[in-house]
Structure formats: C-alpha cells, structure tokens
Amino acid sequence: MSSAFCLSQLLDENDIDFAFITEHKLLPRSSMFLDSIHSSYYSLYTIDDSIDQYGQAKCGKAGTAILYKKSLHCIVTKIENIDNNRIIGIKLQCDNALPMYLFCIYMPACSDTVLYASTLSDLEALVTYYSTE
C-alpha cells in the first residue's frame, strides 16, 4: 500500500488499462483502499478467507486485485466461479469477438508444497475450462 501513489502515477503515465496486484498486506478491513488508488479505475479483489478481519494482524496471506479503467466497465465481468481465494479472474467481451479471460494469481511463497500444488491445479483447471469455452 505504500506504493499506491507510484501506482497511481504509473497508471496515468503509461495509459494502463489493467493492473494486476498481489499484496500480502491486503486485509479485509483495507480492501476499499483499492478504489482510492485512482479515481478512473474500478477494483476487483480476493482476500485469503482464513484471515480474521477483526484481528490485529498487520499482514494477510494472500490478496489479489485487478484494477481496470472505468471506461472498460461495459466489457469487464468478474469470474465468479473461482473457488480459490488466491486467484481472481475477469472476462473481457467486446462485441462479436471471442472473449478473453485474464487471471491474477498469488502463488504461495512458503514451503507448503501441498498448497502450491493445489493452487497450480486450480489454475490449470481454470485455464482448461476457459480455453474450451
């Protein structure tokens, strides 16, 4: 979150349509902060659901977010059927063109190989499903 000002400037300077963010400090109580990064962008996010949102933790475990330009709102839809809170996805649908699916993933950084493999498996399932749609 200390990089929010820099991110806001980068969004302007580079005319960025989508920003994919992984942030271990994204907690339920601070998720609305994403909408304040830039007034021309909407945010979608997921947060590790094992975090006690009323606790005193200063860091979470996994937060993913996608910022996208408000002007693209009519073509962006959040993918709702993702059962892994380390993965967020959106669908872009422009007129009669084939849809495009974009995903942001927060891969586990700890030595928990089971969680790592599970996240990869979930991602593989999503890619397989949306590649055939």
Q: Which domain holds residue 33?
A: 4-132
Q: What is the pLDDT of residues 100-131, one digit of tens each?
A: 999 999 988 778 899 899 999 999 999 999 98
Q: What is the pTM of this model?
A: 0.85
Domain containing 59 — which CATH number? 3.60.10.10
Total of domains in the chain? 1
H helix intervals, 1-133 = 4-13, 113-132
Q: Does residue 74 carry a pLDDT above 70?
A: yes
Question: Which is more confident, 61 or 80?
Answer: 80
pLDDT of residue 58: 58
Residues 6+ apart with CB under 8 A from 23: 1, 63, 64, 65
35-70: burial string, b at 16+ Cβ within 10 Å, e else: eebbeebebbbbbbeebeeeeeeeebbbbbbbbbbe
Q: What is the pLDDT of residues 9-28, one digit of tens each?
A: 999 999 999 999 988 777 77
Report whether pLDDT(33) > 70.
Answer: yes
